[in-house]
Amino acid sequence: MTFRTRFAPSPTGPLHLGHAYSALIAARAAQAQGGAFLLRIEDIDQSRSRSHWEDQIYDDLTWMGLAWPTPVMRQSDRSEAYQAAVGRLTDMGLTYPCVCRRSDIEAAAGAPQEGVPQFGPDGRIYPGTCRQRTFPESSDHVVRLNMAKALDQVDDLSFNEVGPLFTGTHNLDKAAMLREVGDIILVRRGMAASYHLAVVVDDADQAITQVTRGADLWEATQIHVVLQKLLGVSTPVYHHHDLIRDDAGKRLAKRDDARAIATYRAEGATPMDILKMLGLSR
Ligand code: GLU
């Protein structure tokens, strides 16, 4: 099987050092394995995505010396693929329409109880208010996965990890998935799919064999593995890399106030300067 990995930025802001690190690690792994490095534009959230950020992504990555096959997959072109996947999960009896608003979920959650997690990778863990609802519902709903039913359908919940945190086979714990993740959203209001569903469908359609991403997505990966097993697509190997930190040890994630590659460029930095900053010059 040919090695295929990807860099999948969301065009909702400039690329930061953390993005550059992720892209370079993925591209180098592909090079070392004689495989492919793909770029995917994760513009599923059209309310936050902007074409000028997408253009800047191409520009910054090219400046850093990276290349990828074209045409580039863009999530905004792929609603049909996502609908088909949700349809499949619905046919399996694993989805339901949820009409709750954030305030309903807050109200239903009640007082915090000791030892019971309130928040998962997707925000507040859904209390299950709409779990008995069936389609069709009003058009103003999100589609959720019934996690308990979903986990009943899968036996093997393992994936292979090759990152610095841990290398080996990781087995998901069903009880923890129920308690700490719960009924995730598959289709958001005004969107063709949630990030989780879109990523799983895209990685499968692009025949990605290794997902390279930051360690901040470790919890999200667990959701992706469940969806892969339900949809009958193969689970890639995962490489969760370290997050870049600033001199004070503060994490430079995408949403943090990290410095943009474009700013370094404007100040006259070279690609080699960026590699040095990332500890990747060799
Ligand atoms: N597009 C997302 C991000 O930029 C996810 C990347 C991934 O799936 O690895 O955070």
Q: What is the pLDDT of residue 246?
A: 64
Ligand 1 within 6 A of 217 CB?
Answer: yes
Q: What is the pLDDT of residue 251?
A: 62
Q: What is the pLDDT of residue 140?
A: 87
- The alpha carbon of 220 and the centre of ligand 1 are apart by a number of angstroms equal to 10
- The alpha carbon of 57 and the centre of ligand 1 are apart by a number of angstroms equal to 13
- The alpha carbon of 278 and the centre of ligand 1 are apart by a number of angstroms equal to 19
Q: What is the pLDDT of residue 106?
A: 85
Ligand 1 within 6 A of 11 CB?
Answer: no
Q: Give the nearest ligand 1 atom to 22 CA.
A: 9
- The alpha carbon of 120 and the centre of ligand 1 are apart by a number of angstroms equal to 17
pLDDT in tens, 228-262: 999 999 999 999 998 887 666 666 555 444 589 99
Q: What is the pLDDT of residue 271?
A: 97
Ligand 1 within 6 A of 42 CB?
Answer: yes
Q: Give the nearest ligand 1 atom to 213 CA.
A: 9
What b-and-e string marks burial along 26-56, b requiring 16 or more CB atoms within 10 Å of the CB?
bbbbbeeeebbbbbbbbbbbeeebeeebbeb
Q: What is the pLDDT of residue 31?
A: 97
The list of the chain residues with pLDDT below 50 reads 255-257
Q: What is the pLDDT of residue 103?
A: 87
Atom 9, ligand 1: which residue's CA is nearest?
Answer: 213
Pocket test residue of 6, 7, 10 for ligand 1, highest count of atoms within 8 A of CB? 10
Q: Give the nearest ligand 1 atom to 214 CA.
A: 9
